């Protein structure tokens, strides 16, 4: 990251912590995270200029939701398919608005979780635009 980009990130980050006190850090100096309600959506703002709205589920939670008791026989891909099924209703409600607002959709998966992620690039040297995007996301998830 260039010195100018690092400075823009740090300045925007400090302002956002003041303007949106609900933001918290996963690690000191790292990304800012904001819970978007009680249904599991989070907003994350990363130093690389990515704004993410994400809804995910832990693989262990998926296994416990599957009733037949044979989850130990299932591979990660099968459990991930079930995870997408569980995430589907919540994601389908917000997908049209997020895509219309310029977010791109992707699925993130590892052995721990599956998440549907909507991401959009922001420019930290345009702070008002960043704050506006954060507020837009907060309002979307209030409805």
Predicted confidence (pLDDT) per residue in 83-123, tens digit: 777 788 888 899 999 999 999 999 888 878 888 999 999 99
Of 109 and 125, more confident: 125
50, exposed or middle or buried, with CB in 10 Å at 0-12, 13-18, 19+? middle
Confidence band of 71 (pLDDT split at 50, 70, 90)? low
pLDDT at residue 44, rounded to an integer? 96
The proportion of the chain whose per-residue pLDDT surpasses 90, expressed as a percent, equals 54
Of 70 and 132, more confident: 132
Residue 52 CB neighbours (<10 A): 20
pLDDT at residue 94, rounded to an integer? 92
pLDDT at residue 82, rounded to an integer? 76
Of 88 and 8, more confident: 8
Give the phi and the psi of residue 33 in degrees, each rounded to 5. -125, 145
How far is residue 33 from each of residues 50, 51, 118, measured CA to CA in Å? 12, 10, 14
pLDDT at residue 64, rounded to an integer? 74
Question: What's the rounded Cα separation, in Å, for the pair 50 and 46?
Answer: 5
Taking Cα atoms as reference points, which of 25, 46, 48, 44 lies closest to residue 36? 44
Residue 60 CB neighbours (<10 A): 12
């Amino acid at each position: 990251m260039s010195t100018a980009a690092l400075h823009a990130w740090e300045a925007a980050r400090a302002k956002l912590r003041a303007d949106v006190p609900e933001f918290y850090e996963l690690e000191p100096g790292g990304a800012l995270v904001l819970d978007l309600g009680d249904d599991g959506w989070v907003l994350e703002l990363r130093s690389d200029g990515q704004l993410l709205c994400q809804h995910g589920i832990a693989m262990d939670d998926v296994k416990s939701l599957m009733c037949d008791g044979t989850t130990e026989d299932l591979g990660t891909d099968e459990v991930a398919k079930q995870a997408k099924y569980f995430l589907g209703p919540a994601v389908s409600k917000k997908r049209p608005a997020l895509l219309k607002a310029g977010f791109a959709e992707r699925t993130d998966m590892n052995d721990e979780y599956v998440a549907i992620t909507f991401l959009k690039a922001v420019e930290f040297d345009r702070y008002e635009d960043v704050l506006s995007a954060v507020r837009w996301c907060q309002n979307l998830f209030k409805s």
